[in-house]
Structure 1
């Protein structure tokens, strides 16, 4: 009788435990320390390799947005030649996309804001990154941590360097209505982001 009761309880509670499976990005290729993501943009394709070993929180967060297809049809809204190309936060109509909670700043992980690295954008507070990211167009030492928090690097471009270079050379303008100082005149659209199969 007791055995039957325990078995029934196990069967009833099993789905509840299954429903609590992680949904924070850690479940995506969980044993792969260096997942790759393909970004299909209006200017060409870019492949980035993420570094989960050094920036696990940031990589899992980024993968969650990719997995939910939340980066699709967003724009790179900020281009500063020789500095950064930033995107991931706005639709083509400049509507802000919803975000998951802010994440912990992992800028002290040893990765540098070097040419073609990928890092998280944030507000002045160090722990305010959510979904926006940027490509470094140069070795931007000023974005690395020192006496103050830096900007978390979590990966690097491994294919499509020429696409990133071309992005950094587009004509920009000030959009007064939105307060964007370095917005591309011709929108650069991120059509699709896909986690590639493990190597």
Structure 2
């Protein structure tokens, strides 16, 4: 292969990779309010979403749900009295693409009370797809680390379902291994994890 062809091929692959990474952030503005129904192995629950609470986070969440990102996602971190965490895709290739598409922070406007849905993060401007549902009043998270965790929705139906999501593994699953091997790793090592069968946007009634 000539140097020119090698160079052209490299440029094409770079452009393809760039488009793939950006595909996770092309959803546009979400509706002002909507509901998402989560069908899970523990039962179903519904979250009411409010864009004015955290517009950037809601736009990302709406886009991810529309694209089926949360389908088959495991509840990989369950700490009773604190949070249920999820949002790592079971396909490592898909997970990697979305993990690279970070979104800027939203200033917290609504407290992390019981039942609220919030993006997890690892510091300022690091939100991608991971979420948690507060199992108690976690208002201390509102200004945690000087940036806080911006809640953007709340479970309106099925909080009893959320509270019975399997907590036997607590924080044992490794996020690094989920990133590397996805659901294959989780099925082999934590077979009783509850998971999302399907997440669907529905009209708020």
TM-score scaled by length of structure 1: 0.75
Identify, as 1 or 2, the structure richer in strand.
Answer: 1
1:45-84: CA deviation from partner (whole Å, max 9, x where unpaired): 1100111122111111100000111111111110111100
Choose 1 or 2 for highest CA Rg. 1
Higher helix proportion (structure 1 or 2):
2
Q: CA deviation at 1:176?
A: 6.6
CA shift at 1:104, angstroms? 1.5
Map of 2:106 onto structure 1: 106
Instruction: Tell me the residue number matched to 2:41.
Output: 42
| Aligned CA distance change for structure 1 residues 179 and 54 (closer, same or farther; 3 Å) | same
> Which residue pairs with 2:79 in the alignment?
80
Instruction: Look up the match of 1:61.
Output: 60
Cα offsets for 1:117-160 (capped at 9, x unmatched): 0100011x211010010000111122111671111111100011
Q: Given that residues 89 and 132 in structure 1 are in contact (C-alpha distance below 8 angstroms), is that contact kept between their aligned partners in structure 2? A: yes
Which runs of 5 or more structure 2 residues have no equivalent in the other structure? 1-24, 179-188
**How far does residue 179 in structure 1 lie from its aligned partner after superposition?**
7.0
Pair 1:79–1:95, CA change in 2 (3 A): farther
SS at match of 1:65: helix
* Structure 2 match to 1:195: 201
Gaps of 5+ in 1: 1-21
Give yes or no for contact 2:76–2:173 (8 Å, CA) kept in 1.
no
Aligned CA distance change for structure 1 residues 23 and 42 (closer, same or farther; 3 Å): same
**Alignment coverage as a number of residue pairs:** 168
Runs of at least 4 residues of structure 1 off by over 6 A?
93-96
TM-score (norm 2): 0.73
